[in-house]
C-alpha cells in the first residue's frame, strides 16, 4: 500500500514540508479529496488525504481547533495545506492538535497545483493496489498449496513467519492458541501467549480498546478462525498474508476433520 512517507518522495511534492504529525507518515493513502472549505463536521471517510487551502478556516478559530481531531476521528490519514492563499502559515491550533494526534500536516507553496498532485497520487495508489493483489494471490496460492499437499497448520504458520519475517501466532476466535512459528526475537506478549496457550486477558482488552480485534472480526466475519496475535507494521506482504490467512486456516481445520483425498 502507498504511504504518506512514500508520497513525499514524489517530484510533485518536492516543495512539501511536514509541519506536524510526522509520527503518522506511515499511514496508507486510499483516496485523495480536494476541498476549498474544509468542514470539520463532514464525514470524509477512511484513508483519505485532504488537500486544502483552508478558505473556510481563516476567520474561525473554533473550526481550526476542531478540524484535526474530527478528521482523525473520521479516518483521514493526513492533510496537505497550501499556504499563501488564505493563510501565511498553518494555524497554531491545527499544528498543535495534529502533533498530539500524530496526524500529518504538510504545507505546499501556492504555485503547487492540486490537480497535478491528485492525478499522480491516484496513479501511485492504483499501482500499489494492483501489486498488493498480485502479492496476496501469490501468498494464498503458496499457503493453499501447502495444505493441499498435506501440510498442517504448523507448516502454514512456518510459511507465514518466513513470508512476514517475524514470529507468528495463530489463534481461534476464542483467543486459544492453535499453533505458532518463531522467526526472530519473541516479545513479552508472544511469550505470555505461548506459556498460557492463549492471549492473556489484559492483552485482549487492550486490543479490543484499540479497535484491532473488532476490525479483525469484521474482516474475517465469514471465516471461522485465524488471527495473528502479534500486531505490527502492515505492509503489502503483511496485508496480503492477513487477507488470505483465515481462508487457509479454515481449510486446515476442515482437513483435520475431513482428510483431503484424491
pLDDT tens readout for residues 187-229: 888 889 899 999 899 988 988 887 777 877 776 654 444 444 3
pLDDT digits (tens, 9 = 90+) for 75-116: 899 999 999 999 999 999 999 999 999 999 999 999 999 999
Q: Does the reported pTM lie above 0.75?
A: no
In this model, does residue 260 exceed pLDDT 50?
no
Q: Return the CA Rg of the chain.
A: 22
pLDDT digits (tens, 9 = 90+) for 92-102: 999 999 999 99
Residue of 127 and 245 predicted with greater confidence:
127
CB 136 within 8 A of CB 240: yes
In this model, does residue 64 exceed pLDDT 60?
yes
| Domains assigned to the chain | 4-112 (3.40.1390.20), 127-257 (3.30.450)
Which has the minimum average pLDDT: 46-50, 140-144, 163-167, 241-245?
Answer: 241-245
Residues contacting residue 159 through CB under 8 Å, at least 6 positions apart:
142, 143, 146
Which position has the grid cell 483465515?
246
Q: How far apart are CA 184 and CA 166, in angstroms?
A: 6
Q: How far apart are CA 143 and CA 148, in angstroms?
A: 9
Q: How far apart are CA 17 and CA 33, in angstroms?
A: 19
Amino acid at each position: 500500500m502507498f504511504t504518506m512517507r512514500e508520497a513525499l518522495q514524489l517530484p510533485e511534492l518536492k516543495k512539501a514540508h511536514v509541519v506536524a504529525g510526522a509520527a503518522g507518515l506511515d499511514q496508507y493513502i486510499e483516496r485523495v479529496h480536494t476541498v476549498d472549505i474544509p468542514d470539520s463536521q463532514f464525514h470524509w471517510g477512511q484513508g483519505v488525504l485532504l488537500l486544502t487551502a483552508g478558505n473556510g478556516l481563516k476567520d474561525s478559530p473554533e473550526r481550526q481547533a476542531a478540524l484535526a481531531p474530527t478528521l482523525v476521528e473520521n479516518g483521514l490519514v493526513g492533510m496537505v495545506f497550501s499556504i499563501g492563499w488564505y493563510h501565511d502559515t498553518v494555524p497554531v491550533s491545527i499544528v498543535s492538535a495534529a502533533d498530539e494526534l500524530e496526524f500529518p500536516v504538510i504545507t505546499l507553496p501556492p504555485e503547487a497545483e492540486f490537480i497535478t498532485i491528485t492525478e499522480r497520487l491516484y496513479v501511485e495508489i492504483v499501482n500499489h493496489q494492483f501489486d498488493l493483489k498480485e502479492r496476496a494471490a501469490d501468498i494464498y496460492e503458496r499457503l493453499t498449496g501447502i495444505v493441499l499437499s498435506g501440510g498442517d497448520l504448523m507448516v502454514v504458520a512456518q510459511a507465514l513467519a518466513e513470508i512476514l519475517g517475524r514470529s507468528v501466532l495463530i489463534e481461534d476466535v476464542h483467543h486459544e492458541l492453535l499453533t505458532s512459528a518463531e522467526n526472530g526475537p519473541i516479545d513479552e506478549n508472544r511469550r505470555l501467549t505461548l506459556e498460557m496457550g492463549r492471549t492473556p486477558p489484559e492483552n485482549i482488552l487492550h486490543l479490543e480498546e484499540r479497535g484491532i480485534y473488532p476490525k479483525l472480526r469484521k474482516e474475517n466475519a465469514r471465516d471461522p478462525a485465524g488471527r495473528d496475535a502479534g500486531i505490527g507494521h502492515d505492509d503489502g506482504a503483511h496485508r496480503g498474508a492477513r487477507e488470505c490467512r483465515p481462508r487457509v486456516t479454515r481449510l486446515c481445520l476442515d482437513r483435520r476433520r475431513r482428510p483431503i483425498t484424491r
